[in-house]
Amino acid sequence: GQQLNQSPQSMFIQEGEDVSMNCTSSSIFNTWLWYKQDPGEGPVLLIALYKAGELTSNGRPTAQFGITRKDSFLNISASIPSDVGIYFCAGSSGTYKYIFGTGTRLKVLA
Amino acid sequence: KAGVTQTPRYLIKTRGQQVTLSCSPISGHRSVSWYQQTPGQGLQFLFEYFSETQRNKGNFPGRFSGRQFSNSRSEMNVSTLELGDSALYLCASSSGTGVNQPQHFGDGTRLSIL
């Protein structure tokens, strides 16, 4: 099935460092979503983006809707141990259907 | 506000059997989508239902089917189970009344095929 390219695949960072990850598509999207998934649980919505260039924060995570509408970025400032998990991006072109990225696995070293 | 509820949380089946998974969406949400999540393939879209009608369908064989009831609850059925069907099956709901509504996930049903 179709998937978005998400990078990096995994990250090991020290507590307190900033985290950056991105998602790219060959198609234009109208909506970008970012989710975090903890082990044994379903993905939890972090941020929703609806307009090219839009920058939205939800506490420490901040996400941006790329100008080309083919990419999106997620940044987490001053990481803490509970940030560990898998982060997914998802995009939609307005068909009531979302395509998901391959995920970025984040590990935070205390 | 109660979240998306999926039952059962865990299931063990053998090849050739069939299985039914259930999903209760967030109150007021009329769209329910189903996804298959595996380590190798990530989150793959199965289908989406809105007002008891299948509105979108992914690229899965006909063994995978679903339905939605008038109260928006949804069920997914997989017949003639194969080893490769072992996965976490996630359900997500949204209001469904406008395009690009964000989806909210349940904690999934982990299906293991022996």
pLDDT value at B84 more than 60: yes
The answer to whether B111 touches B89, Cβ cutoff 8 Å, is yes
Across the interface, of A1, A44, A50, the residue whose CB is closest to B45 is: A1
3-state secondary structure of A48: strand
Chain A residues whose CB is inside 8 A of the B45 CB are 1, 97-100
Numbered residues of chain A with Cβ closer than 8 Å to any chain B Cβ: 1, 3, 30-31, 33, 35, 40-45, 48, 50, 88, 90, 92, 94-103
Which tens digits make up the pLDDT trace of A67-76? 999 999 999 9
pLDDT score for A16: 94
Per-residue pLDDT band for A1 (boundaries 50, 70, 90) equals low
Distance of CA A94 to the CA centre of its chain: 19
For residue A28, what are its two tokens? 């234009």
Across the interface, of A35, A88, A96, the residue whose CB is closest to B31 is: A96
Which tens digits make up the pLDDT trace of B87-102? 999 999 998 777 778 9
For residue A1, what are its two tokens? 């099935």
Count of alpha carbons within 13 Å of B14, Cβ hemisphere only? 0
Across the interface, of A1, A31, A97, the residue whose CB is closest to B48 is: A97
3-state secondary structure of A81: helix
pLDDT value at B1 more than 60: no
pLDDT score for B47: 94
Tally of CB atoms within 10 A around B101: 17
Which tens digits make up the pLDDT trace of B37-58? 998 778 999 999 999 999 989 9
Burial class of residue B90, CB neighbours in 10 A (0-12, 13-18, 19+)? buried
Sequence-distant (≥ 6) Cβ neighbours of residue B18 within 8 angstroms: B77, B78, B79, B80, B81
Helix, strand, coil percentages, rounded to 5, for chain B:
5, 55, 45
For residue B55, what are its two tokens? 């509105």
Check B99 against A99: CB less than 8 A apart.
no
Start-to-end C-alpha separation, chain B? 37
